[in-house]
Structure 1
Amino acid sequence: MSSEKISKKSVFKNYKSLILLVLGIVVGCIVGLIYKEKAVVLKPFGQLFLNMMFTAVVPLVFFSLSSSIAKMTNMKRLGKILRHSLMVFVITGIIASVFIIMVVSVFPPAQGVEIDFGGYEEPAKMNILDQVVSAISVNDFNLILSKGAMLPLIIFSITLGYCIRFVSKGNENNSVVSFLDIMAEAFMKMIRIIMLYAPIGLGAYFAALIGEFGSQLLGAYSRAVIMFYPICVAYFLTAFTLYVYFAGGIKGVKVFYKNIFPSVVTSLATQSSIATLPTNLAATKRMNVKDDISNIILPMGATIHMDGTALTSLMKIAFLFGIFGLEFSGIGVWSTAILISVMSGVILSGIPGGGMMGCIMIVSFYGFNPEVLPIVVTIGLLTDAVATMINSTGDVVVSMMVSRTVDGRHWMEKTDGNKEEILGSSAEVSLN
């Protein structure tokens, strides 16, 4: 067999999972376009995949986080990772907001748009302090084992890992730590098994999604929605490239793009940063990000780091300014818009119902007619897929940047003496 044939066979083997996943999604989209509303009947097959994924992800987060913290010998390193993570979360959120402001200032998203506001029922007033308490805690232990309580689960897991580390008094052979490690590996294996069903499950999910919402993309405010997709792609290619260049230079850029596309596909298909978490964990492992960094940043980022949400919030604000004939310009207007967007992407994203709260905050802060709330909510719905892609892949970017600031410029170098191919096999969505 010639070397060329061997190379082609190797490429197909590496990309087989990704090819099958994309093929399943494409077929699903075609089915949705052909059968329209009738394709919704396939939604249960897609929901089955998401249910299995969510069921496995919650314990995966618990065991991977608690085991990583429990194995740490340097608690100062943990504090450094957390500080650097939060700092990068805020900085990237501000940069994302400034990026989209420059775009919408040149291309107003609501230009020529006329919308009938329709009816509106004022939502119940929400106590922000109660929402914050709900964001970081639950009132019963069984409630913490839920995808709806990811931030309380993350806090609980980090605290438990610290306590195990403290009571073990440096015992590296602690049986509890070994148990946590084994369980983390077991749930990663379960994720790999679930991903075998991904082409069918995601294909069915996309068929239902296109069948149900496809026609809305051609609605009165399609200009704003259509604009948003190339904005996110441009942000991905420019900002993320610069971020990973900071993290690892040219080698960092190559490593990122060699390994990120499974996360891109999974996030677009599932529209969930949490469902993309296993794929992100596998990607950072191939990038040689240390476990104590990836196992902390990725679950935390899936909950409270949302650059895509910041982009969406700015688009909603600019769109509403256009509807009401206001000029979206000036330092004062831009500053408040950035503040609201960063809050939506870093703070409110961790609060239950944070997406709706962000929309209400935008409408109430600027004194807009409350009848526009359904409009901004719908814009969020139609842009959710690509915003989620920015959110979830951005977590991988942050893990690389924090690796650079915590471990130094040579963080990508192998520490076990094996210097082979750090770029690795990038496209295995099956999470090898």
Structure 2
Amino acid sequence: MSEKKKLSLTSRIVIGMVAGIILGTIIRYVAGDNAWVSLYLTNGLFDVVGQIFITSLKMLVVPLVFVSLVVGTCSLSDPSKLGRLGGKAVGMYMVTTAIAITFAIGSAILVQPGSGIERASDASFEPSEAPSVSEVIVNLFPDNPINAMAEGNMLQIIVFALLFGISMALVGKPGERLKGFFDDLNSVIMKLVVILMNLAPYGVFALMAKLFTEIGVEMIGSLAKYFLLVLFVLLAHGLIVYPLFMRVLARVKPGIFMRKMRDAQLFGFSTASSNATMPITLETVTRRLGVSNSVGSFTVPLGATINMDGTAIMQGVATVFIAQVYGLDLGVAEYLMVIMTATLASVGTAGVPGVGLIMLAMVLQQVGLPVEGIGLIIGVDRLLDMTRTAVNVTGDAMVSCVVARSEGDFDEDVYYDNDAGKKLEEL
């Protein structure tokens, strides 16, 4: 008698997601006003399970980034390679961000999502202050690396890990002995990632159930044109632009890339956090897509911090939307300023809480639009945030593959092997 085939991780996550959406919707419209349901189910069981899942993923981010980056850096035979990796990765992330916001602005000008929308008199938004360019540069370097790890400051952790790894490579035998310890520690952390991935369907179910008890279809109704346009541009960027880069620059079949990225995309969608999804993205990039650890351990954490393609798309559409709602005309110069500001701000506001809305506030101020207009779109931003996180995660992996290919650190055999990294789905 043949053994019953086990469902793949992707299938289990999708089942958990759909079941959560259905249950959350039923609770919202059947027992939404019930105090017991709200206290013990929505804000009790669902909230606790969902938050434990996200917190568990975030728990791995700092040790995973530090350890994997130290291992990758100390393995580099040519220290100057780090400069090339950094230049290529940052350049690619900024190019794709510029493409994303240009596509978004063009689509918004064509569709005009803000036409016929009346602004609410009480719509308001108070943006946090964005850091200056000099502050960003100075803050790249930690004065206390332990404090940087405690606060989860990714850019500072990356810088310290690079310096630590380079020192290990240059010190000789002590570095070689220490490298063995970090290799073993990296294997343990990766095993922990696999364990948490197998618990994902339950966490995703709880997150979706809670979200859809709070969000109804009627919330999208008044902003349907804006919502659907942002969603369309996000999907087009993720399903057309990224595969095109994979075909042209990585020189591989993009369909395989999209299929192997499904787990990371689902994680990104359900958590709405590139940082929380980083362990899964890194595991997928290095074990399933054939990117060497020396490249992936650098490009994935960097991308999770500064790659804002999905956010840039939201900013492009939102800028045109708010201008149309307030009856203000923007010229070519203003649109070019939006593209430039949003692209540079994707690096400048990295690691700042609420980064998407802070970046949008910067863009609106740059072209003279009222920042209060952000209050118009906050209601539907949660669902769009989930989608743009999935897009950002896909972009991180795409750039990792392209940079690895350019450095000769890309394994095509692993990329085309459907069974590569199957332990992602097995304990």
TM-score, normalised on structure 1? 0.87
CA gap of 1:246–1:430, structure 2 versus 1, over 3 A, is same
| Paired residues of 2:194 and 2:423 also in contact (CA < 8 A) | no
Letter in 1 for 2:89: S
Letter in 2 for 1:302: A
SS at match of 2:121: coil
Q: Does 1:78 align with 2:82?
A: yes
Per-residue deviation at 1:67?
A: 1.0
Corresponding position of 1:422: 417
Corresponding position of 1:19: 11
Alignment partner for residue 226 of structure 1, among 228, 234, 237?
228
Q: Does 1:56 align with 2:60?
A: yes
Q: Does 1:96 align with 2:96?
A: no
Letter in 1 for 2:263: P
Letter in 2 for 1:316: A
| Percent identity for Structure 1 against Structure 2 | 25
SS at match of 2:114: coil
Distance in 2 (alpha carbons) for counterparts of 1:137 and 1:356: 25
Corresponding position of 2:35: none
Per-residue deviation at 1:227?
A: 1.9
Corresponding position of 1:238: 240
Deviation per CA, 1:260-300, whole angstroms, max 9, x where unpaired?
A: 11111111011111122122222222221111111110011
| Paired residues of 2:125 and 2:373 also in contact (CA < 8 A) | no
CA gap of 1:214–1:164, structure 2 versus 1, over 3 A, is farther
CA gap of 1:307–1:270, structure 2 versus 1, over 3 A, is same
CA gap of 1:50–1:401, structure 2 versus 1, over 3 A, is same
| Paired residues of 2:342 and 2:363 also in contact (CA < 8 A) | no
Corresponding position of 2:50: 46
SS at match of 1:424: coil
Alignment partner for residue 136 of structure 2, among 120, 132, 140?
132
Corresponding position of 1:157: 161
CA gap of 1:88–1:124, structure 2 versus 1, over 3 A, is closer
Distance in 1 (alpha carbons) for counterparts of 2:398 and 2:426: 18
Q: Does 1:35 align with 2:27?
A: yes
Corresponding position of 1:358: 359
| Paired residues of 1:268 and 1:389 also in contact (CA < 8 A) | yes
Name which of structure 1's ranges 127-136 and 53-62 shifts more when overlaid on structure 2. Answer: 127-136
| Paired residues of 1:282 and 1:431 also in contact (CA < 8 A) | no
Deviation per CA, 1:37-65, whole angstroms, max 9, x where unpaired?
A: 53343111100011111112220111000
Alignment partner for residue 298 of structure 1, among 278, 283, 300?
300
CA gap of 1:214–1:149, structure 2 versus 1, over 3 A, is farther
Name which of structure 1's ranges 333-342 and 129-138 shifts more when overlaid on structure 2. Answer: 129-138
Distance in 2 (alpha carbons) for counterparts of 1:91 and 1:425: 30
Letter in 1 for 2:112: P
SS at match of 1:117: coil
Per-residue deviation at 1:359?
A: 2.8
TM-score, normalised on structure 2? 0.88
Corresponding position of 2:393: 392
Distance in 1 (alpha carbons) for counterparts of 2:165 and 2:16: 39
Unpaired runs of at least 5, structure 2: 33-37
CA gap of 1:420–1:319, structure 2 versus 1, over 3 A, is closer
| Paired residues of 1:115 and 1:220 also in contact (CA < 8 A) | no
